[in-house]
């Protein structure tokens, strides 16, 4: 027997294990039916409900990042890291035939790979998604590190006529060079308040990445991902996921937060396609840490994005799931991070293992091919995201890039600090600082100029 509490009624109900999740939703739904309001769940309650949907009692615990080399602590020892794990072949069809030409990749293997990520890792994006209407709330002339620019404050109102109880207004800021006479490239950064405000202040520093973009005649944008979907399992009955589900909890195959944030980025790109000031064929996406995960997922699923800068994305992003170093699958399956993923992903933290995953991060990276993709990380203070594990994923994506005619890194050897592998459409660079994307921005902009300077 299991006990759940419905936050809206503060009552408890006893339900048999096999029907506990369903019974709990009935309880909450009945208590709020009169007002047709979203049900309320804590992250712990939703996590437990997700395990019940899978028929799982408990998961293996994640590692403690504050304890190294102790039982239950994080591993930062390469000798224990499964340095070269055996990975699924990105060019082997499900029928075991080898992919030898681009048409087979596009027509068969890429759809197969997308299906596996949908089913086992990130969840399925629903078909009945609402439209978004964008408005310019404010347009002002600004000066960024001495450069003339125009700042557009944008709001994307999501159509909620199917479920008026949830209202979503996506917030974004677009900054463009003031004197441009033609559509310009734009880099979109996934971020949240208060970081958005802080980054706008930091943009005034000489040599900031924002000023470097403006000097090249490019623009940049911030997308507040929390206005699309909260970064918590407690938010699943709100945001775009809750709106589509009419305020109810996720079903087994439903999408997680990373894909929801990617959906928001794609809707911003929709707006750019209508703007005469933006060249929507030269829009890139950047994210750091958890937003690096989302930026990589966005690149994989929306082929309109021309380039990606994926910074310190770690597990669930560019890091190999099969590598025991830093953040591991069990951490992403715990109550503080499971919401990034689809429910089926939890199986691989118990009873299944990492090796049971039908896909790994090298295949997620390969879904960006042949578009340019820059994967970056830091050093001391950034080991949690496993820089070498991200490099190995990029290196093992090279066969797909090569098949599609793109230039690769042409090595499987992890490069020294500050010595980026920058010659191909797939690139990697580790800077010497900690958990930050700032030191790699100048290198990325130099790399991106090969592609974004060309209409």
Residue-wise pLDDT for 284-330, tens only, equals 999 999 999 999 999 999 999 999 999 999 999 999 999 999 999 99
Q: What tens digit of pLDDT does each residue of 391-403 get?
A: 999 999 999 999 9
As assigned by CATH, the class of the 132-452 domain is alpha beta
Which of 34-38, 163-167, 219-223 is predicted with the least confidence, judged by mean pLDDT? 34-38
Task: Please name the residues in contact with 346: beta carbons below 8 A apart, sequence gap of 6 or more.
Answer: 50, 51, 54, 56, 59, 333, 338
**pLDDT (0 to 100) of residue 23:** 52
pLDDT category of residue 17 using cuts at 50, 70 and 90: very low
> Residue 32: its pLDDT value, please?
53
Q: How would DSSP label each residue in 233-284?
A: GGGTTSHHHHHHTTTPPPPTTB--HHHHHHHHHHHHHHHHTT-TTEEEEEEE
Q: Which residue shows structure tokens 């830093």?
A: 326
Tell me the C-alpha distance between 383 and 89, whole Å: 27
Query: CA angle, 158 as apex, 156 and 160 as ends, to 5°?
Result: 160
Confidence of residue 2 (pLDDT cuts 50, 70, 90): very low
Cα–Cα distance between 240 and 268 in angstroms, integer?
14
Domain regions of the chain by residue span: 2-54, 132-452
Q: What is the pTM of this model?
A: 0.92
Res. 5 pLDDT band, cuts 50 70 90: very low
Half-sphere exposure of 228 (CA within 13 A, CB side): 26
Q: Could you tell me what percent of the chain has a pLDDT over 90? A: 87
What residues pair up with 174 in beta bridges, in sequence order? 152, 221
Quick one: pLDDT at residue 16? 43
Nearest Cα to Cα of residue 59 among 354, 385, 315:
354
How sure is the predictor about 184, in pLDDT bands with cuts at 50, 70 and 90? very high
pLDDT at 83: 86
Residue 69's pLDDT is 81
Q: What's the confidence (pLDDT) of residue 14?
A: 36
Burial of 311 (0-12, 13-18, 19+ CB in 10 A): buried
pLDDT of residue 12: 33
Is the confidence at residue 226, as pLDDT, over 90? Answer: yes
Instruction: Work out the pLDDT band at 168, boundaries 50, 70, 90.
Output: very high
Instruction: Please list, residue by residue across 216-251, b when 16 or more beta carbons sit within 10 angstroms of its beta carbon and e when fewer do.
Output: bebbbbbbbbbbbbbbbbbbbbbbbbbbbbebbbbe
Assign residue 395 a region (left: φ > 0; alpha: ψ between -120 and 50; beta: otherwise): alpha
Residue 432 scores a pLDDT above 70:
yes
d(CA 364, CA 375): 13
- Could you tell me the pLDDT band of residue 189, with boundaries at 50, 70 and 90? very high
User: What's the pLDDT at 257?
Assistant: 98
Mean pLDDT of the chain: 93
| pLDDT (tens digit per residue) in 85-129 | 999 999 999 999 999 999 999 999 999 999 999 999 999 999 989
Percent of the chain with pLDDT over 70: 92
Our measurement of the distance from residue 216's CA atom to the centroid of its chain's CA atoms, rounded to an integer in Å, reads 27
Residue 20 has pLDDT above 70, yes or no: no
Average pLDDT value for residue range 43-66 = 97
pLDDT of 196 > 90? The answer is no
Mean pLDDT across 37-48:
97
pLDDT of residue 30: 46
């Amino acid at each position: 027997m299991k006990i759940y509490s419905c936050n809206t009624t503060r009552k408890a109900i006893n339900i048999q294990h096999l029907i506990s999740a369903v019974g709990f939703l009935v309880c909450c739904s009945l208590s709020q039916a009169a007002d047709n309001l979203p049900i309320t769940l804590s992250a712990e309650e939703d996590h437990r409900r997700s395990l019940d949907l899978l028929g799982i009692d408990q998961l293996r615990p994640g590692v403690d990042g504050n304890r190294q080399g102790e039982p239950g602590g994080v591993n930062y020892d390469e000798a224990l890291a499964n340095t070269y794990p055996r990975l699924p072949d990105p060019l082997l069809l499900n029928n075991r035939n080898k992919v030898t030409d681009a048409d087979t990749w596009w027509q068969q293997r890429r759809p197969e790979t997308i299906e596996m990520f949908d089913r086992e890792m990130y969840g399925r994006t629903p078909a009945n998604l609402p439209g978004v209407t964008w408005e310019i709330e404010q347009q002002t002339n600004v000066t960024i590190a001495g450069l003339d620019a125009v700042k557009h404050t944008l709001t994307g109102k999501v159509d909620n006529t199917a479920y008026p109880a949830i209202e979503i207004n996506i917030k974004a800021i677009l900054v463009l060079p003031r004197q441009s006479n033609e559509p310009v490239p734009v880099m979109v950064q996934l971020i949240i308040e208060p970081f958005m405000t802080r980054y706008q202040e930091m943009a005034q520093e000489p040599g900031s990445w924002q000023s470097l973009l403006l000097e090249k005649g490019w623009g940049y944008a911030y997308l507040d991902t929390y206005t699309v979907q909260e970064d918590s399992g407690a938010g699943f009955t709100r945001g775009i996921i809750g709106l589509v589900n009419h305020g109810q909890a996720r079903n087994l195959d439903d999408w997680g937060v990373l894909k929801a944030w990617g959906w928001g980025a794609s809707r911003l790109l929709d707006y750019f396609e209508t703007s005469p000031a933006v060249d929507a064929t030269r829009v890139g996406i950047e994210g750091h840490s958890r937003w690096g995960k989302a930026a990589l997922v966005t690149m994989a699923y929306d082929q309109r994005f021309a380039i990606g800068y994926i910074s310190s994305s770690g597990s669930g992003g560019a890091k190999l799931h099969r590598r025991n170093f830093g953040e591991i699958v069990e951490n992403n399956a715990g109550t503080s991070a499971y919401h990034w993923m689809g429910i089926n992903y939890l199986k691989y933290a118990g009873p299944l293992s990492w090796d049971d995953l039908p896909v790994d991060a090298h295949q997620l990276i390969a879904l960006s091919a042949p578009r340019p993709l820059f994967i970056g990380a830091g050093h001391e203070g950034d080991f949690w995201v496993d820089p070498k594990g991200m490099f190995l994923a990029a290196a093992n994506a090279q066969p797909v890039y090569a098949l599609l005619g793109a230039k690769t890194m042409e090595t499987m050897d992890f490069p020294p600090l500050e010595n980026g592998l920058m010659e191909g459409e797939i690139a990697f660079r580790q800077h010497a600082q900690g958990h930050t994307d700032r030191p790699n921005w100048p290198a990325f902009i130099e790399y991106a100029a090969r592609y974004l300077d060309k209409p």
